[in-house]
Amino acid sequence: MEKVNDIAGVTQLVRDARANGRSIALVPTMGFLHPGHGSLIARARAEAGYVVVSIFVNPAQFGPSEDYRDYPRDLDRDTRLAADAGADLIFSPSPEEMYPRGYDTFVEVPDLSAVLCGASRPGHFRGVATVVLKLLNIVRPDVAFFGQKDAQQLLVIRRLVADLNVPGRIVAAPTVREPDGLAMSSRNAYLDPEQRRAAPAIYRALQAGEAAIGEGERDPEAVVAVMRGVLAGEPLLRPDYVAAVDAATLRRPPLLSGRVLLAVAARLGRAKLIDNLALDVAPDIVRRITL
Ligand code: AMP
């Protein structure tokens, strides 16, 4: 496995791999890798000849009062994990390499970015869309992998790629969880032992929402009330949003049917955790899907 920090270096290595007949996969990450990232890298390894993992804590997607400076970083550990999962190249640019002096271009996907995480993080998805478009332009992958854990991000990127005719496929991978259901996240490192014990209530709330729909509930507000009830049992958790929405528009439909996203964001100490379940809701059967 190789490591480069500069755009010219990654461009050259990708060009060489392509010249050798290898297809190119990209797995964008912010580092502090865990098995969730590992599953994306392994999937990329299975589908492409040359796997690029980018590691970049993107300042453009953090608000002024958010955790950009505190975000956990460990490039040596990430290097081992990425190599074990099957990466061929780690691209870990500096902020200056990605946003040199005079940088002035941003892309926005305003409708999908206005709700859920976007409502409390103005500018977040503008930063995400911009950095992902830059990474796609730098690497020009045949296929890029994203986790459903960040479902809104996935939708924003799919919209961006379709609207701007960006070549390459976008593939979503299911959320990897701890044994107690907590979605793996680099930000779980912020949790103290008591908070860590409280955290799986987020997944339990999603499961309760899923069960209510399975029992026939189709009113989104009633499903949200069920999920809020579970979260209320864990006083350490402070919900930011609890939603039962159409999985394409992220808006609340009058009744739940078709592709539905149950989504929760909650603060736990200084961590803000998010999780979701995507469901296909038919009249008499409800099943989990990957978006
Ligand atoms: P991040 O480093 O948190 O920006 O995540 C990089 C990529 O890994 C994104 O596409 C995430 O959706 C994905 N990811 C993060 N956590 C998980 C998880 N628990 N399971 C699957 N994918 C994940």
Structure tokens, 110 = 């305003």
Q: How is the chain split among helix, strand and coil, in percent rounded to 5?
A: 40, 20, 35
| Residue of 24, 28, 32, 37 marked active site | 37
| Nearest atom in ligand 1 to 37's CA | 8
| Nearest atom in ligand 1 to 30's CA | 2
195-225: pLDDT as tens digits: 999 999 999 999 999 999 999 999 999 999 9
In degrees and rounded to multiples of 5, residue 165 shows phi and psi of 55, 40
The arithmetic mean of pLDDT across residues 240-258, rounded, is: 98
Ligand 1 center from residue 27 Cα (angstroms): 9
Question: Among residues 278, 199, 260, 184, which one has the least CA distance to residue 231?
Answer: 199
Ligand 1 center from residue 184 Cα (angstroms): 8
Q: Which residues pair with 55 in a beta bridge?
A: 29
Question: H helices of 66-145, where?
Answer: 75-85, 95-98, 110-113, 117-120, 124-139
pLDDT of residue 32: 98
The CB of 147 under 6 Å from ligand 1? The reply is yes
Give dist(CA 276, CA 288) in Å, integer: 11
Give dist(CA 211, CA 214) in Å, integer: 5
Neighbouring residues of 212: CB distance < 8 A, sequence distance ≥ 6 = 222, 223, 226
Give dist(CA 180, CA 200) in Å, integer: 6
CB 48 within 8 A of CB 143: yes
| Nearest atom in ligand 1 to 176's CA | 20
Ligand 1 center from residue 149 Cα (angstroms): 6
Give dist(CA 190, CA 272) in Å, integer: 9
Q: Whose CA is nearest to atom 18 of ligand 1?
A: 36
pLDDT of residue 276: 98
Tell me which amino acid residue 6 is.
D
The CB of 118 under 6 Å from ligand 1? The reply is no
Given phi > 0 = left and psi -120 to 50 = alpha, else beta, which region is 70? alpha
121-161: pLDDT as tens digits: 999 999 999 999 999 999 999 999 999 999 999 999 999 99
pLDDT band for position 182 (cuts 50, 70, 90): very high
Q: Whose CA is nearest to atom 11 of ligand 1?
A: 147
Q: Whose CA is nearest to atom 14 of ligand 1?
A: 147
The CB of 79 under 6 Å from ligand 1? The reply is no
Ligand 1 center from residue 284 Cα (angstroms): 32
CB 126 within 8 A of CB 50: no
The arithmetic mean of pLDDT across residues 229-235, rounded, is: 98
The arithmetic mean of pLDDT across residues 88-108, rounded, is: 98
* pTM as predicted: 0.98
Give dist(CA 99, CA 60) in Å, integer: 9
pLDDT band for position 60 (cuts 50, 70, 90): very high
CB 279 within 8 A of CB 286: yes
The CB of 43 under 6 Å from ligand 1? The reply is no
The arithmetic mean of pLDDT across residues 80-96, rounded, is: 98
The CB of 57 under 6 Å from ligand 1? The reply is no
The CB of 37 under 6 Å from ligand 1? The reply is yes
Give dist(CA 171, CA 149) in Å, integer: 13
Check if 37 is active-site: yes
Our CA angle for 212, 149, 274, nearest 5°, is 70
* Residue entry with tokens 């190119």: 24
